[in-house]
Structure 1
Amino acid sequence: MSNPFGTVPAEAILEGDATDAYFERTRATLEHAGKNPHVVAEVTADQFPTGEFEVFTGVKDVATLFEGRAVDIDALPDGQLFDGGPVLRIEGPYLEFAALETSLLGFLSQPSGFATAALEARLAAPESLVLSFGARHVHPSIAATVERAALLAGLDGFSHVAAGEILGREAGGTMPHALMFCFGEGHQDEAWTAFDEAVGDDVPRTALVDTFWDEKSESLLAAETLGEDLDGVRIDTTGSRRGDFRHIIREVRWELDARGYDDVDIFCSGGLTPETIRELHDVADGFGVGSHITSADSVDFSLDIVEISEGSEDPSSSRTQSGDDGEPISKRGKLSGVKDVYRTPDGGHHVTLADRDGPADGESLLEPLVRDGEIVREFDLETATERCLADAEAVGFDHKTPSPDR
């Protein structure tokens, strides 16, 4: 069976078959009428700046989608934050990209949502180790999309092995409760010892310590069992048994320190949110974040034509030139005309018409991505991460005061 899991193959996406039916009917109608106008279309989530910033990503896949097609595309850089106005602009004959709209928006909307949620987690504990544990909550075919979005937002690592192979990064992780069950209650020390003997030296010795007994007891047993080889303990207590999670962590820390194990880190996981991370970041050393990232709402991007000219009467024409006769156009509730967006030194995000001057101290954010079907931009994840974190600082993204010790 060539497609055992029923996923849409890459070929269908590239050929424009991964589309909504009404785009196929639009193509048939325009070809029947001999129309293929030259248009400028923009991708937006909000027309005007809202003050609520989100992370823009997925642009590398968009470039791949449009490679070889007779269009020009400008887009925000990968990892840029935005709060209104266009994030991407396409110019060319409409039938060159009409059927690609569905995939285009999917490539941007969900990864941008993942990255925005991951950035919230990152900034909740800027100095702590934060890992992405959410791949189990999504279809395996998009696991690498989740993990890349998490890395872009500054998370320190992830757990998915196949995603790591795609991204060129090593997946991380230690042990599940299933391993502890296989050895049984009262034999936790045997499980930790076997793990220590079995895995490579590069794997942190982090013992799971909430399976059978209370977290303090298992943490102390792990420390006694592995001694100086123990790097950390992971507390994954389910919410129904957690009680005051902060108090539990502080108690474990106290008891470890009292016995000379002050260099053993405490790592927390299990349904964590930025709010809980913010509450715990001064008593724990690291966090695994899953569902907060994978359950994030997709950014509600839409694509709208904002300028149109007659263009070619031949739908098979590979390209037309817009000239100067393009007419602003828009549906009700959207803004007509080709636009630019700018970032000012105070973190402001500004939207203007492209033929008007932007802010005197503003930096234009839309950059060339595709020119007549050729990708004209390089992509580097580390650069995108640096951009994301720097821009988050510039615009004041999610700056909240951590909870005080109680």
Structure 2
Amino acid sequence: MSNPFGTVPPDAILEGSATDAYFERTRSTLEHAGKNPHVVAEVTSDQFPTGDFQVLTGVEDVATLFEGRDVDVDALPDGQLFDGGPVVRIEGPYLEFAELETSLLGLLSQASGFATAALEARLAAPDSLVLSFGARHVHPSISSIVERSSLLAGLDGISHVAAGEILGREASGTMPHALMFCFGEGNQADAWRAFDEAVPEETPRIALVDTFWDEKSESLLAAETLGDDLDGVRIDTTGSRRGDFRHIVREVRWELDARGYEDVDIFCSGGLDPDRLRELRDVADGFGVGSYVTNRDPIDFSLDIVEISEGSSDPSSSRTQSGDDGEPISKRGKLSGVKEVYRTPDGGHHVALADRDGPADGEALLEPLVRDGDVVREFDLDAASDRCLADAEVVGFGGFEE
């Protein structure tokens, strides 16, 4: 079976059949009528700034989607924060990209939602180790999207092996409760010793310490068992049994310190959100965050034509320059005309018509992505992550000053 998990193959996305049916009907209608206008279309979430910044990612996939198409595409840099106005602008014959709208929005919407949630988690515990544990909550075919979005937002590592191979990052992780079950209650020390003997030297020795007994007892047993080789303990206590989770973590820290195990770190996981990270960041050394990122709703992007001029019925007809004879156009509730977005030094996000002056001290954010079907931008995950964190500081995202 060529596609055992029923996912849409890449070829369908690139050729445009991964689309909503009404775009196919639109193509048939326009070709029948001999129409293929030259348009400028923009992808937006909010029309005006609302004060609610979000992270844009998926830009590299957009470049791949439009490569070879007779269009020009501008986009914000990967990892840029935005607040209203266009994040992508496309210019060319409408039939050159009509069917790509569905995939275009999907490539941006979900990844940007993941990245925004991951940035909230990152900034909730800025001095702590924070790892992405979210791959198990999504279809495995998009696990690399979760992990890349998390890394872009500044998380320190990922858990998914195949995603790590795609991204050129080594997956992190030590042991699940299943390993402890295989050794059985009363044999926790045997499980930790076997792990220590089996895994590579560079793998951190992090013992899971909440399986059979209370967290304090298992933490002390792990420390006594592995001694100086123990790097840390992980507490993944089920929410229904946590009670005062902060007190549990503080108790474990106290008892380890009292016995000379000050160098043993405490790592927490299991349904953590930014509020819980802020509550625990002074008593725990690291966190695993999963469902908070993957449960985030996709950002509600839409694509709208904002300028139009008559064009040939030939889908490969050459483009005219925007503004030569294009007429502003929009549906009700949307803003017509080609726009630019600007970032000012005070963190302001401004939307203005592209042929008008922007803020005197504003930096235009839309940059060339595709020209005549050629991708004209390079992508680097580390650079995008640096951009994301720096921009978060500039705009004060999530109370960055914390």
TM-score range, shorter chain: over 0.9
Shift of 1:317: 2.7
Q: Does 2:49 correspond to 1:55? A: no
CA–CA distance in structure 2, aligned partners of residues 91 and 400 of structure 1: 36
**Structure 1 pair 400/348, CA: closer, same or farther in 2 (3 Å)?**
closer
State the one-letter code of the partner of 1:44.
T
Mean Cα displacement is larger for which, 261-270 or 392-401?
392-401
How is 1:201-240 mapped onto 2 (pairs within 5 angstroms)?
Answer: 201-240=201-240
Runs of 4+ in 1 over 6 A off after TM superposition: none
> How far off its partner does 1:137 sit?
0.3
Q: Which residue of 2 aligns with 1:393?
A: 393
TM-aligned CA deviation for residue 316 of structure 1: 3.1
Shift of 1:180: 0.2
Aligned to 2:178: 178
Aligned equivalent of 1:139 = 139
Establish whether residue 162 from structure 1 lines up as the match of residue 162 from structure 2. yes
Q: 2:281 maps to what in 1?
A: 281
Residues in 1 aligned to 2:240 and 2:208: alpha-carbon distance in whole angstroms: 18
2 CA distance for matches of 1:284 and 1:401?
A: 20
Please name the residue that 2:113 is paired with.
113
Is the 8 Å Cα contact of residues 347 and 394 (structure 1) preserved in structure 2? yes
Q: Partners of 1:183 and 1:254 in 2: how far apart?
A: 28
Contact kept? 1:42, 1:306, Cα under 8 Å: yes
Q: CA deviation at 1:400?
A: 6.8
Contact 2:393 2:400 (C-alpha < 8 Å) held by counterparts:
no
Aligned runs of 1:302-321 on 2, under 5 Å?
Answer: 302-312=302-312, 314-321=313-320
Q: 1:4-403 alignment to 2 at 5 Å? A: 4-312=4-312, 314-322=313-321, 324-399=324-399
Aligned partners of 2:306 and 2:336 also within 8 Å:
yes
2:336 and 2:261 map into 1 onto residues whose CA distance is 64
Counterpart CA distance in 2 for 1:159 and 1:195 is 18
The CA deviation string for residues 224-260 of structure 1, in whole angstroms up to 9 with x for no partner, is 0000000000000010000000000000000000000
Shift of 1:311: 1.6
The answer to whether the Cα contact below 8 Å between 1:38 and 1:322 also exists between their aligned partners in 2 is no
TM-score, normalised relative to structure 1:
0.98
Whether contact under 8 Å (2:105, 2:301) holds in the other structure is: yes
C-alpha contact 1:134 1:293 (8 A) present in aligned 2: yes
Counterpart CA distance in 2 for 1:187 and 1:319 is 73
1:401, CA displacement in angstroms? 7.8
In 2: Cα distance, 1:319 partner to 1:277 partner: 54
Give the deviation of 1:321 after TM superposition.
Answer: 1.5
- Cα deviation, 1:317-348, whole Å, max 9, x if unaligned, reads 34331461100000000000000000000000
Distance 1:250 1:318 in 2: 69
Aligned-pair CA distance for 1:3: 0.5
Contact 2:93 2:315 in 1 (8 A): no
Name the SS of the counterpart of 2:287 in structure 1. Answer: strand
Aligned mates of 1:143, 1:69 — CA distance in 2: 28
Question: In the alignment, residue 280 of structure 1 is paired with which amino acid?
Answer: L
Residue type of the partner of 2:390? A
CA distance in 1, matches of 2:380, 2:315: 36
**Could you say if the C-alpha distance between residues 62 and 401 of structure 1 is closer, same or farther in structure 2, counting changes exceeding 3 Å?**
closer
Aligned counterparts of 1:72 and 1:301: Cα–Cα separation in 2: 20
Letter in 1 for 2:194: A
Report SS of the residue matched to 2:310. Answer: strand
Residues 339 and 400 (structure 1), Cα distance of their counterparts in 2 relative to 1, 3 Å cut = closer
Could you tell me which amino acid in structure 1 is paired with residue 325 of structure 2?
Answer: D
Letter of the structure 2 residue corresponding to residue 315 of structure 1:
D
What's the TM-score once normalised by structure 2's chain length? 0.99
Q: 1:81-100: CA deviations, max 9, x gaps?
A: 00100001000000000000
On the 8 A contact 1:309/1:322 being kept in 2, the answer is: no
Instruction: Give SS of 1:41's match.
Output: strand
Secondary structure of 1:306's partner? strand
Query: C-alpha separation between the residues in 1 aligned to 2:315 and 2:90?
Result: 19
Counterpart residue identity of residue 92, structure 2: G
Q: Considering only aligned residues, what root-mean-square deviation do their CA atoms show, in Å?
A: 0.9
Question: Cα offset for 1:68?
Answer: 0.3
* Aligned residue identity for 2:341: V
Q: Would the aligned equivalents of 2:67 and 2:373 in 1 still touch at CA under 8 Å?
A: yes
Tell me, which stretches of 5 or more residues in structure 2 are unaligned? none
- Percent identity, aligned pairs only, is 83
Instruction: Kindly provide the amino acid, as one letter, of the partner of residue 320 in structure 1.
Output: R
User: Contact 1:193–1:225 at 8 Å: present in 2 too?
Assistant: yes
- 1: distance between equivalents of 2:317 and 2:126? 49
